[in-house]
Amino acid sequence: MNFFDHLAGNYAEVLALTGEHVVLVLQGLVLASLIGIPLAVLTYRAELPRSVVLAVAGVFLTIPSYALFGLLIAPLGLGTAPAVTALTMYALLPVVRNTVVGLRGVDPAVIESARGMGLSRRQILRQIELPLAWPVIITGLRVATQLLLGIAAISAAVNGPGLGNLIFQGLSSAGTPFAVYLALEGILGIVVLAVLADLAFAALNRVSTSRGLRVD
Amino acid sequence: MAIAPAPTEPAGGTGAAGPGPRPGGARRLLRYAGAPAALLAVLAALYLYVGAHDLDRIERRSLNAEYLLSRTWQHLGLSLVVVVLILAIAVPLGVALTRPGARRFSGPVLALANVGQAIPTIGLIVLFAVAFVSWGIHTIAITAIVLYGILPVLRNTMVGLDQVSPAVIESARGMGLGRAQVLWRVELPLAVPVMLAGIRTALVLTVGTVALATFIGAGGLGDVISNGISSNRTVVLVTGSVLVAVLALAVDWLAGIVEDVLRPRGI
């Protein structure tokens, strides 16, 4: 029995776990965006709050994944809850940092002229700053997605969902001929998702970036 | 408007691809003294938390000084070996790939390394463990973690060397320096800040990844976390997690200072 025979027999589970993996990463990504983008918008003009937010998000990202999952089990128990929380915390830095960098990268002269045209602060943010910062924000989301796809594999160690379960099944069947196949199925599933996510973000960037900003 | 480059590294660590500005007086003091003070406070809180518990026999098996120290030393030892290997492989490779003759390989190598980065570390460790059963567990753990940490150092070495202005190299050549002299006295010093940022990322990544060595029985502080999960003892779980987190944050802090000190003057 080679790898492809094994995959053919196991594809239903691989697909189900791939689905769980995608949902898990999306949950973390959406939560991090809902928290991180408003946080960046609120703090990007004020030096102290901005550096505090970035420092805290930096500390989150520095905490090793197994330790963060472990710390979150204490209040949240095993399963999906600590996994989603940890992924949200990891995604915060790329999301917040890129939003801040994007918003701060907007040419002050552009904002000045918008104000001269009579736009309010809120209008400038919605119509000028966010659209101009959008490509950078998308890049942050893309980086966060790549990060989360890998880290989400650890969630299986705390009885969470996703493709990590195949990797750990491989580990627990070490010594059998299927061990390598199981681990490979988990790994390749994640690599394929990473490649697909990159393509999806490239497409999203093209479709959603303001027309005047496109390079081509 | 130019599209800003991604300011974040796709893999852990607070170190960005580029070096940050040198922090000024009060800020620097806060950064240098604030982090260890906070980490010591966390450790003190952990000590009080564990001390307030009436430990049962299972908890005492993990939470005694001898066990914790042995796992910490294992963790540091594994991390040190891994980091030395990463530097010994990635820096020379980065230098070689930016030399004129080999430049055409640099694109494919970086592309391969980027795809490799998508492989989750735990996947690599487990795959090696089940595929190379005859290797020792430490060899397996070290090989997998080294492979994973090479990318940030390799990439930043190449980026650092590539950003050195050709005009600077040209004038150094014009002053009569040989190729090797230009590399040692001009290119590498100018590339150091970017290289250090990559090394810092790799360091923090390594300390965190070594915590996963426990899954294949290679020891380290991850053992304490695993003991806590498998025996369903929160106090053990929290102790292991806090120790691993504090270790990673301490290494990041230390690497930040080294980064500031080693950055050549005048840059």
Q: H helices then E strands: how many in chain A?
A: 9, 0
pLDDT value at residue A199: 93
**A199 interaction partners in chain B (CB closer than 8 Å):** none
**pLDDT class of A216 with cuts at 50, 70, 90:** low
Q: Are residues B225 and A146, on separate chains, in Cβ contact within 8 Å?
A: no
**Range 72-131 of A in CB contact (< 8 A) with B:** 73-74, 78, 93-94, 97-98, 101-102, 105-107
Q: In which residue are the tokens 């998000």 written?
A: A57
pLDDT value at residue B54: 86
pLDDT value at residue A209: 79
pLDDT exceeds 60 at position B4: no
pLDDT value at residue A119: 93
Domain positions in chain B are 28-262
Q: Are A66 and B212 in contact (CB under 8 A)?
A: yes
pLDDT value at residue B266: 65
Q: Are B237 and A74 in contact (CB under 8 A)?
A: yes
pLDDT value at residue B33: 86
pLDDT exceeds 90 at position B19: no
ipTM confidence score: 0.88
**A136 interaction partners in chain B (CB closer than 8 Å):** 3-4
Q: What is the mean pLDDT of residues A82-99?
A: 96
B28-262 CATH: 1.10.3720.10
**Which of A47, A66, A145 has the most B C-beta neighbours within 10 Å, making it the best mutation to test the interface with B?**
A66
Q: b/e string for B166-193 if b means 16 or more Cβ within 10 A?
A: eeebeebeeeebeeeebbeebbbebbbb
pLDDT exceeds 60 at position B15: no
N residues, chain B = 267
The tens digit of pLDDT for each residue in B30-80 reads 778 888 999 999 999 999 999 888 888 888 888 888 999 999 999 999 999
N residues, chain A = 216
Q: CA separation (Å) from A50 to A133, B37, B165, B206?
A: 17, 22, 33, 28
Q: What is the mean pLDDT of residues A154-180?
A: 91
The tens digit of pLDDT for each residue in A178-193 reads 899 999 999 999 999 9
Q: Which residues contact A177 (CB under 8 A, 6 or more apart)?
A: A1
The tens digit of pLDDT for each residue in B158-168 reads 989 988 888 98
Domain positions in chain A are 3-106+132-213
**B222 interaction partners in chain A (CB closer than 8 Å):** 66
pLDDT value at residue B267: 59
pLDDT value at residue B25: 64
pLDDT value at residue A197: 94
pLDDT value at residue B5: 38
**pLDDT class of B17 with cuts at 50, 70, 90:** very low
Q: Are residues B3 and A67, on separate chains, in Cβ contact within 8 Å?
A: no
Closest by CA to B3, choosing from A125, A202, A124, A45, is: A202
Q: Are residues A58 and B10, on separate chains, in Cβ contact within 8 Å?
A: no
Q: What is the DSSP letter of B132?
A: -
pLDDT value at residue B114: 78
**pLDDT class of B1 with cuts at 50, 70, 90:** very low
- In angstroms, the separation between the Cα of residue B239 and the nearest Cα of chain A is 9
Residue among A157, A164, A183 minimizing CB distance to B127 = A183
Q: CA separation (Å) from A192 to A149, A155, A199, B17, B221?
A: 10, 19, 11, 25, 32
A3-106+132-213 CATH fold: MetI-like fold (1.10.3720)
pLDDT exceeds 50 at position B7: no
Radius of gyration of chain B (CA): 21
pLDDT value at residue B18: 42
The tens digit of pLDDT for each residue in A131-147 reads 999 999 999 999 999 99
Q: Are B81 and A112 in contact (CB under 8 A)?
A: no
Number of neighbouring beta carbons within 10 Å of residue A87: 30
pLDDT exceeds 50 at position A95: yes
